[in-house]
Structure 1
Amino acid sequence: MMPEQVAIVLAGVDRLRPRMEEVADDFYARLFARHPELRPLFSADIALQRRKFADELELIVRAIPDFGSFVERARHLGARHAAHGVRVASYAQVRAVLFEAIGQALGDDWTEETEAAWGSAYTLITETMLLGAARPATRGTLRGRGR
């Protein structure tokens, strides 16, 4: 990600913070309407899920400038998601819905430049999470081979 893109995404999180519950509600409503098969991957307690969404979105985005912290956080998050049954294809499904919800909340501030910055952030986050999701399987396989 370019530093300018990081700044755009961080500013977006700042603008979303007062409306994060609304953004989370919109996100989950869209996600579960479009992809009901994903509903079992999330907590039945939607209030708890909404808090997790708000906290994790802000924490992971704010960690990006400190790359070491970001990688550690994103890999851990990816491993947790994998343990809950999240598959690679789910990340693309979530991306589309997340961007719709964020775009709705940001209104006129959701420009092509903003969308591109969030796209770069989402790709970075997703790829790093997938490394974390793959790592436990790799470790188990290597240990199983006596390495």
Structure 2
Amino acid sequence: MTPEQVTLVQQSFAKVAPIADHAAVIFYDRLFEIAPPVKSMFPADMTEQRKKLMATLAVVVNGLSNLESILPAASALAQRHVAYGAKAEHYPVVGSALLWALEKGLGDGWTADIAAAWTAAYTTLSGFMIEQAYGRPQAAE
């Protein structure tokens, strides 16, 4: 990721943060729409899960300017996801739902440059997480 992309991700996430719970609802609704089988990996009451998602995104987004600082947490998260039943092929689906939710949340603020920046961020982190969890790097877009 370029420094400019990091800035775009951070600035755009700052605009999503005030509607964090709504953004998380949009994300999970989309995820379950495009990948219904993954719904069984989640609790019936998604309240805490939505909070965890947005808190994790905040940590990641804030740490992008010092990527090395968030890699240990990303590795641990990847290992936990394996225990929940997540597979490498789920990462692209999650990425698609995330980008879709961000586009909906940002509305007119979603630009080609912001889309590219978020794609780069997600691809970087998900590739690392897949490698940590499954022992092989794999592109996840």
TM-score, with structure 1 as normaliser:
0.87
Encode CA deviations 1:34-75: one digit per residue, 9 max, x unaligned: 211001222332101110111011111211222221211111
Structure 1: unaligned runs, 5 residues or longer: 136-147
Partner of 1:121: 121
Distance 1:43 1:61 in 2: 25
Whichever of the two has the greater Rg, that structure is 1
CA distance in 2, matches of 1:15, 1:69: 23
Q: Which residue identity lines up with residue 86 of structure 1 in the other structure? A: A
Report if aligned partners of 1:9, 1:117 keep a CA contact under 8 Å in 2.
yes
Alpha-carbon deviation of 1:131?
2.4
- What is residue 100 of structure 1 aligned with on the other side? 100
1:85 maps to what in 2? 85
Q: Runs of 5+ in structure 2 lacking a partner?
A: 136-141
1:77/1:132 contact within 8 Å kept: no
How many residues are matched?
135
Aligned CA-pair RMSD = 1.2
Partner Cα separation in structure 1 for residue 124 and residue 14 of structure 2: 20
Contact 1:75 1:129 in 2 (8 A): yes
Residues of 2 paired with 1:67 and 1:30: CA distance? 28
How far did 1:22 drift? 0.5
> Match of 1:55?
55
Amino acid of the residue matched to residue 30 of structure 1?
R
Distance (whole Å) between structure 1 residues aligned to residue 13 and residue 53 of structure 2 = 12
The alignment's TM-score, normalised by the length of structure 2, stands at: 0.90
Aligned to 2:138: none
The CA distance in 2 between the partners of 1:42 and 1:60, in whole Å, is 21
Between the two proteins, what is the percent identity of the paired residues? 34
Assess if the C-alpha contact under 8 Å between 2:8 and 2:117 holds in 1.
yes
| Matched residue type, 1:133 | A
Instruction: State the distance in 2 between where 1:67 and 1:55 align.
Output: 17
Residue 42, structure 1, aligned to residue 42, structure 2: yes
* Pairing 1:6-45 to 2, within 5 Å after superposition: 6-45=6-45
Between 86-95 and 34-43, report the one with greater CA deviation.
34-43
Q: CA deviation at 1:116?
A: 0.2
